[in-house]
Amino acid sequence: MSSKISHSDSLREWIQSTAASGHDIEQIIEMMLRAGYQPRQARLLVAKILNRPAVAMDLATDQRNGRRTRHPEPPMQTVDGKRVDISVCVDTPPIRVLEGLMDVDECEQLIELARPRLDRSRTVNKSGDDQIDKARTSLGMFFQVGESPLIQRIEQRIAGLVDVPVHYGEGLQVLHYLPGQQYEPHYDWFNPRHHGYKALTSKSGQRVASIVIYLNTPAAGGGTHFPKAGVTVTARRGAAVYFAYEEGDTESLHAGLPVLEGEKWIATKWVRELPFA
């Protein structure tokens, strides 16, 4: 399905044949999103054509209540045929260290895909606009959801691990830090007191969880620190830290510690409570 299908009969035939070939509902919806359909539109069409009203009901429930991630539970989980060991488990805030989420080759490939597109990292200001901020001194870039087979594979793996469909996640962001660069303590949820809150959350809702993947191992420094929980996660290539939060919580305060020697590459995935658009 390389281009958007506009003819209703062709679309019906494609959805039915794709389901008959063994693809599940979420896989069909993901293919439709990559072809240009909006999340709500794709889910409602699949529900109608396959006579699966529960698919549309899931969307309605999410829109009323907002979807939340499932916290990965130790000692390990298998996703995408891959074993992910959970070496750290904190209850408040929910923090999990995920060992071996990505292979060495995947980490290197992602870095090389991101490298030519890097620019000064930005933060979201009180008006909801992107801005350069002295608190965040890295270089970064965003991939589009499903942009390449590698991105699709990583997104599906994360989605399976936290039990939330791929299209609830923002595009994967890659960041590059050099010695002395850091991200000072901050929250990932959008502050409702800021002027731009409504614009940021009107379509996709609030952020509910973050997954930070370490694409290399810095020579020194560069970990992720949670001052309220008293936890520091060491940056190790292929591992990741997952943490979840609610709007207004203070426990999820975290910082990207300064790189003391070498460099740091990370990939971050933010999950929303509604389909991201």
> What is the reported pLDDT for 135?
62
Cα separation, 160 vs 170, in Å, equals: 15
- pLDDT score for 25: 85
Q: What is the mean pLDDT of residues 28-35?
A: 83
Q: Is the pLDDT of residue 1 over 50?
A: no
The predicted model gives 238-246 an average pLDDT of: 97
pLDDT per residue over 251-275, tens digit each?
999 999 999 999 999 999 999 999 9
Which residues contact residue 157 at a Cβ distance below 8 angstroms, ignoring those fewer than 6 apart? 79, 80, 82, 101
User: CB 127: neighbour CB atoms within 10 A?
Assistant: 12
Q: 76-85, 122-131, 159-168: which has the minimum mean pLDDT?
A: 122-131
Query: pLDDT tens, 56-107?
Result: 766 666 766 789 999 999 999 999 889 999 999 999 999 999 999 999 999 9
At residue 24, the pLDDT reads: 86
- Classified as helix, coil or strand, 162 is helix
Overall average pLDDT of the 207-230 stretch = 98
Mean pLDDT, the chain, rounded, equals 89
Contact 135, 183 (CB under 8 A): yes
> Which is more confident, 209 or 80?
209
**Poorest-confidence range of 53-67, 146-160, 163-177, 200-214?**
53-67
Nearest-angstrom CA–CA distance, 40 and 139? 33
| Average pLDDT rounded to a whole number, residues 222-241 | 98
- Stretch 173-197: mean pLDDT, rounded? 94
Asked whether the predicted pLDDT for residue 247 surpasses 90, the reply is: yes
Here the tokens at position 62 are 């999410």
Report residue 69 CA to chain centroid gap. Answer: 11
Instruction: Give percent above pLDDT 90 in the chain.
Output: 70
Separation of alpha carbons 177 and 182, rounded Å:
7
Tell me the C-alpha to C-alpha distance, in Å, between residue 179 and each of 5, 105, 115, 218. 49, 24, 17, 9
Q: Could you tell me which residues come within 8 angstroms of residue 97 by beta carbon, excluding any fewer than 6 positions away?
A: 86, 87, 88, 233, 239, 240, 241, 242
Per-residue pLDDT band for 39 (boundaries 50, 70, 90) equals confident
CATH superfamily of 76-272: q2cbj1_9rhob like domain (2.60.120.620)
- In the predicted model, is pLDDT for residue 131 greater than 70? no
Burial class (CB in 10 A: 0-12, 13-18, 19+), 39: buried
Asked whether 198 and 127 are in contact (CB, 8 A), the reply is: no
Alpha carbons within 13 angstroms on the beta-carbon side of residue 13 total: 6
β pairing state of 119-120 and 254-256: unpaired
Q: Residue 37: what pLDDT?
A: 79
